[in-house]
Amino acid sequence: MHELIKNSATEIRNKLINKELKPTELVEISLDRIKEVDPIINAMPTICPERAMEHARKIESTNISEKPYLHGIPLSIKDLVEVEGVRTTWGSPLFKDHIPTKSDILVQRLESNGGIVVGKSNTPEFGAGANTFNEVFGASVSPWNTKKTVGGSSGGAASSLVSGEVWLASGSDTGGSLRIPGSFCSVVGFRPSPGTVPTGPGNSPFDSLSVSGPMARNVEDTALMLNAMTGYYEFDPFSKKQTPDYLNAVNESKIPKKVAYSFDLGGEPLDPRVRDSLEKSLKVFESMGSELIEDCIDLSDAHHIIRVLRSLKFAAQAERLTNHRNELKPEIIWNIEAGLKLTGEEIAKAELLRAKLFNNTAEFFNKYDLLVCPTVMVPPFDVEIRYLDEVEGVKFDDYITWLYYTHSITLTSSPCVSLPASFTEDGLPIGIQFITECNNEYDLLSYSQSFEENNTNAIQTPIDPRN
């Protein structure tokens, strides 16, 4: 492992600013690391070395006073997002040979801000599911234990970070796709409020369930990347014309005064190892002087709401079901069919219940600075298991129920983050989830930085893959 791989993205940026490094050197280091470890972990099956090097040389030739924000830091883009001239498959055989002619706004913004795309990170088919495997590239595995899953759907992104292939990674999140891989890989997975990171143009501009966000090895790097992803975009109705400098939140980190915590979000199953991890994390808050109160948002309707609204999203893919049923994985078929069976009454009821949940969440954060809970019910499991159908003796009816700790929070539109918390006795990562009120990414990053600085139960990354 090259020594520079061990540096944070912020440290790398400082070296670039001080002319101690060139972007072309970083691209070479990143590509060498991908060749070294990706045959083992399968995090980034598509790379674009010529394109990356061309971009690096362009940044090098730019006057130092005009250098873009990231100054030439290599990063990965999730394979649900189009990159001009680079194979983009959505993890589906239907698009296994697709080469976009234009980059998504997310890629345009990151590249204009000095991020260098070196490759596409692996994802489940169409991002459905929290175990990263597909029929195009196969499964991604955890650098912590190559028999375990990295989670999903931003699993390749998280694995590319923890193994040191790149310094930053983009991801997206509907039911936990940034946070679950963050927990399973011991990196930061940050889900912003809708519109903080703009998307579009698209056929569902008012969708507030799915968002894009940053992944990084620490909180400061997460803030750095979030700065490079934000900004107004006229094709996103939730887009914001002004956002703060999120690095200030990290540099001026503060301790939350009143912290609500919940082990089970209202009675959901939880692996004892995750409970133990949360107990350790709560002691971190105690050492910081925060007041801890066991309390939770009323999420009793969350299971019903997410099933309806998630299925409604998938109903838009009805054409794929009609024309390509045999090429879709069973979980996607189930989602689409469930969406097509919905009635207007069911959709209206789900929307009303979500409105009630949003209002209850706003009232909750009038009392507390922060809500703390598990990110996932369990530590990483064997990669051969498609999804969990049972936890602690509780059997599930479908493949999304085990994602409850993340998809229930999605419904609130609150920014939330999974932070590295601790490890099991056999060395598997466990994350902790922080939530603040809607559009308060600034305080969320500030509280996260304070926790990270005081938490001694996590291990520094990157690492070499382990059997």
Cα separation, 120 vs 204, in Å, equals: 24
- Cβ-contact 140, 43 below 8 angstroms: yes
Sign of the C-alpha dihedral computed for residues 388, 394, 397 and 402 taken in this order: negative
Please report which helix (H) or strand (E) contains residue 142, including its range: strand 141-142
Task: Write out the two tokens for 449.
Answer: 């930085």
DSSP notation for 417-458: EEEEEEE-TTS-EEEEEEE-STT-HHHHHHHHHHHHHH--SS
**φ/ψ (deg, to 5) at 234:** -65, -15
**φ/ψ (deg, to 5) at 281:** -65, -35
- Cβ-contact 75, 33 below 8 angstroms: no
Spell out a b/e string for 332-358, using b for 16 or more CB atoms within 10 Å of the CB, else e: bbbbbebbeebeeeebeebeebbeebb
Map residue 321 onto helix, strand or coil.
Answer: helix
User: Measuring CA to CA, which residue among 434, 440, 443 is closest to residue 188?
Assistant: 434
Q: How far is CA 433 from CA 94, 278, 324, 357, 437, in A?
A: 35, 10, 38, 19, 14
- Residue 148's identity, in one-letter code, is K
- Cβ-contact 455, 448 below 8 angstroms: no
Cα separation, 192 vs 194, in Å, equals: 6
Task: Write out the two tokens for 346.
Answer: 């069911």
Cα separation, 189 vs 6, in Å, equals: 19
Task: Write out the two tokens for 252.
Answer: 């001026």
Neighbours of 322 (CB within 10 A): 9
Residues in the chain: 467
212 is known as an active-site residue:
no
User: Measuring CA to CA, which residue among 378, 405, 376 is closest to residue 393?
Assistant: 378
Ranges assigned E (strand) in 188-338:
188-191, 211-216, 258-261, 291-294
The one catalytic residue in 30, 76, 78, 193 is 78
311 is known as an active-site residue:
no
Spell out a b/e string for 96-120, using b for 16 or more CB atoms within 10 Å of the CB, else e: eeeebeebbbbbebbbebbbbbbbb
The one catalytic residue in 153, 253, 281, 413 is 153
177 is known as an active-site residue:
yes
- Cβ-contact 275, 421 below 8 angstroms: no
The one catalytic residue in 121, 163, 170, 177 is 177
* Active site residue ranges: 78, 153, 177
